[in-house]
Structure 1
Amino acid sequence: METRIDEIGPGIYRLSTYVADIAPPAGFTFNQFLLLGDEPLLFHTGLRRMFPGIHAAMARVMDPARLRWITFGHVEADECGAMNEWLRVAPQAQVAHGRTGCFVSLNDLADRAPRPLADGETIDLGNGKRVSYLDTPHVPHGWEAGLFFEESSGTLLCGDLFTQLGNGSTLTDGDIVGPAIAAEDMFRSSSLNPNMGATIRRLADLQPQRLALMHGPSFEGDAAAALMALAADYDQRLKAA
């Protein structure tokens, strides 16, 4: 499993590992996102067994020991499995997550105490970058789920939203909603709940310029429209259920 690293926006890097034997024949990608600044931030840690490759990829851009913030969408192995490995190689790093995630899991799981974030709270990364934390409970799954929005570039770090199969391009302006619907039909991984559509529409209200997908290509285009279409699909699924 080789991890590649590509810049998808100013000082925003996508670290991507393709695994062919997950959901063959298409396979599956696992992506992390590195935001450079005075206090660099990593969104998603990757699985523990992927850590050596991801660490080596990051080292091509910056010294991993400089990492300051470790973040992710929810508590799941591919999102935070290597959390403590990163804490060990980056002495100043701290996990930052929503209050629910910290209280329920991370106060115990993390080798150093995490920083709990309130909905809407921001972290200033320096060099013009600021990320705001957004509570998204049960969207797409996990009571403690939450996302991050980088304000200066308009980049929404989407976690498992828009999950799709395959190993496509790094960045696309094509359809990401259709492939996400197909993946949901296959995996049934989302936690359907009455607030799902409203939660995703709240993300659309941010008018993001870029969507950084954990499983799939990053997207530049009418991101708000893509989010609204995804919300509508979940509305239909909930109605049918």
Structure 2
Amino acid sequence: MLSNLRSPYLALPGVHALPSHLPLGELGLLPVNAYLVQGSEPVLVDTGMAIDRGAFEEALWSLVDPRDLRWIVLTHDDRDHAGNLKEVLMAAPNATVIANGLAVSRLGEEWDVPAHRVRTVNPGRTLHLGDRSFTVIRPPSYDSPSTIAVYEHGNRALFSADSFGTVLEDMADNANEVNEQDYLTGMSLFTRANAPWTALADQSKWDSALAEVRGLGPSTVLSSHGPTATGRTQHLLETVRGVPSADPWLPEEDIEVEAVLDRYETQPLPD
């Protein structure tokens, strides 16, 4: 397998992104990020994709000694977020996983995470991890019921899981490197595609979910599926606010079912 992992970059003071991407055909490229938060007790947010196995661990351990990694915040159990969890835990003897309890149960479909190495949390909890403090929230959009996001108070940074993700034509480390219209259009598309239930969302309830993010006042949004976005939170909120009223999105089909049936019905029967 060829890894799509790129070189880590400094997203914020003390925060490194470990960036990769997933091709989505004609739609473009979906960023897939994990983040390492340095501090007295280093925190890894997500563990990347299995296709990046080997390269992901090499990049991670170039930034932190495995024995020093203390926490792994798993935003949810999807393979693009938990793809290297087992390998990281095996290499980092002092690391403990922080996740929603449902995520831990779902991980058990493939691998039982040792119970003594897990702490389960729900939205509303504030965690003091060494010299860093994180508040756990439910992000506005998600594709897994186990999803959590975390707000890091020191940098005023929201690690938003799938929320505020976007599809890009070319990879970029910073949102300022991307045409703004393309960036926001890709965000609307990704949100509708990744969370199709948003087409059924009550607008007032959707607005309440966005208000929780606005109330935290993040200066930077670090999406698992987007470039670093500093000073753009209001634009991001305005973009995704319109998602429930936008047309639902579905991928193109490989065949036109009606045309195939018509051809079948008009073919002469064999003798």
Give the TM-score band, short-chain normalised. Answer: 0.7 to 0.9
TM-score (ref. length: structure 1): 0.85
The unaligned stretches of length 5 or more in structure 2 are: 249-271
Inter-partner Cα distance in structure 1 for 2:152 and 2:70: 16
1:197 and 1:235 in contact (8 A); partners too: no
Alignment of 1:1-241 (within 5 A): 1=3, 2-19=5-22, 21-24=23-26, 26-102=28-104, 104-106=105-107, 109-113=111-115, 114-127=118-131, 129-136=132-139, 139-166=141-168, 167-173=170-176, 175=180, 176-184=183-191, 187-192=193-198, 193-194=201-202, 195-223=205-233, 225-237=234-246
Change (3 A) 1:230 1:38: same
Displacement, 1:152? 0.8
Inter-partner Cα distance in structure 1 for 2:102 and 2:29: 32
The unaligned stretches of length 5 or more in structure 1 are: none
Inter-partner Cα distance in structure 2 for 1:17 and 1:3: 6
1:3 and 1:54 in contact (8 A); partners too: no
Q: Residue 141 of structure 1: SS of its match in structure 2?
A: coil
Inter-partner Cα distance in structure 2 for 1:28 and 1:231: 17
1:139 and 1:190 in contact (8 A); partners too: no
Q: State which structure, 1 or 2, has the greater radius of gyration over its C-alpha atoms.
A: 2
Inter-partner Cα distance in structure 2 for 1:24 and 1:88: 38
1:198 and 1:231 in contact (8 A); partners too: no
- What do residues 88-116 of structure 1 show as CA deviations (whole Å, max 9, x unaligned)? 111111111124434x4357744222211
2:31 and 2:225 in contact (8 A); partners too: yes
More strand by share: 1
Question: In the alignment, residue 17 of structure 1 is paired with which amino acid?
Answer: S
| Greater mean alpha carbon deviation, residues 111-120 or residues 31-40 | 111-120
Question: In the alignment, residue 237 of structure 2 is paired with which amino acid?
Answer: M
Q: Residue 90 of structure 2: SS of its match in structure 1?
A: helix
Aligned residues with identical type, % of pairs = 19
Inter-partner Cα distance in structure 2 for 1:33 and 1:81: 14
- What do residues 9-54 of structure 1 show as CA deviations (whole Å, max 9, x unaligned)? 11001111234x4434733321111101121111111122313111
TM-score (ref. length: structure 2): 0.76
Displacement, 1:82? 1.7
Q: How many equivalent residue pairs?
A: 234
